[in-house]
Amino acid sequence: MSTAPTRVAIVTGGSRGIGRRTVERLAADGFAVVVNYAGNRAEAEAAVTAVTEAGGRAIAVRADVADEDAVAALFDAAEEAFGGVDVVVHAAGTMYLSPVADLDLDALDRMHRTNIRGTFVVDRQAARRLRGGGAIINFSSSVLGLAMPGYAAYAATKGAVEAVTLVLARELRGRDITVNAVAPGPTATALFLDGKDEETIARMAAQPPLERLGTPEDIAEVVAFLAGPGRWVNGQVVRANGGIV
C-alpha cells in the first residue's frame, strides 16, 4: 500500500516568536519543516532540536529573505532534504516605530527591504515551486486597521503585504494553491514587548474583548488551519487579534 508523501513547510523567521511556535505546530501536524533564520543560528538549531526530539523532521537554513539568490537556495535546500515544498509561511519581518515627522528614512528603507521586498522574493519562489494542494501564508498586522500613532511606516509595509497576498491568490488560479495573510493583534513576542513599559502593555492587553494579549500559540493555530484543513479560505486576511476593531 502506497503512503502519501510527507508534506513540507518552509517557515521564514522560524527561530523565534510566532515563527518558532509555527514551526513546532506544523511539525506536530506531521510536516517536515525548514526553519529559516537571518542571523541567530543557535535559536534556529534549538527549534530544530525541539522538533526532532518530539519525533519530527526539521532542518535550519540561513537566508536573508530579501536576497533572491539566498531564497532560491533556501527552496533548493528544502527540495533536496525533503523532496519538495507544500507550504510557505512567511513570518520574517522587522518593525521600526516612529511618528512620520521624525521618521528615519534609512530605517524606513531597511524595513521596506525586509517586509516588502522580502515578501515579493519569498512569494515569487513559492509561486514557482509549490506543489499542488499547497498554501502560501504571509504575515500582515492588525495595526494596519487600528491607525495607531507611531506605526505609519510599519503599517505601510503590511499594507503592501496584504496587496501582494490578494493579487497572488488570483494569479495562482488553477494551481490548487491558497494564498492568505494572517494579521495578528498585540501578541506577546519579543518584537512586540521590546521598548514598551508595563502600563502600555497592560493597556494594549485590555483592548480586545478577551482582555489579554495574544500568544504565539494562538497565531500558530491559525497558520496551521490555513496550512492544512482550511482549503476553502483563499485570498483573505485573517485578523487574529481577539476581537479588536
Is 96 known to be catalytic? no
H or E element in which residue 167 lies: helix 152-171
Alpha helices in 3-151 (DSSP H): 17-28, 41-53, 68-82, 105-112, 118-129, 143-146
The dihedrals phi and psi of 92, each to the nearest 5 degrees, come to -65, 140
**Closest C-alpha among 56, 66, 73 to residue 6:** 56
Grid coordinates standing for 237?
486576511
Place of cell 519530527: 56
Angle subtended at Cα 16 by Cα 10 and Cα 22, rounded to the nearest 5 degrees:
45
Integer Cα distance of 112 and 17 in angstroms: 21
Q: 243: burial class by Cβ within 10 Å (0-12, 13-18, 19+)?
A: exposed
SS3 210: coil
Among 37, 96, 151, 154, the active-site one is: 154
| Residues carrying an active site annotation | 154
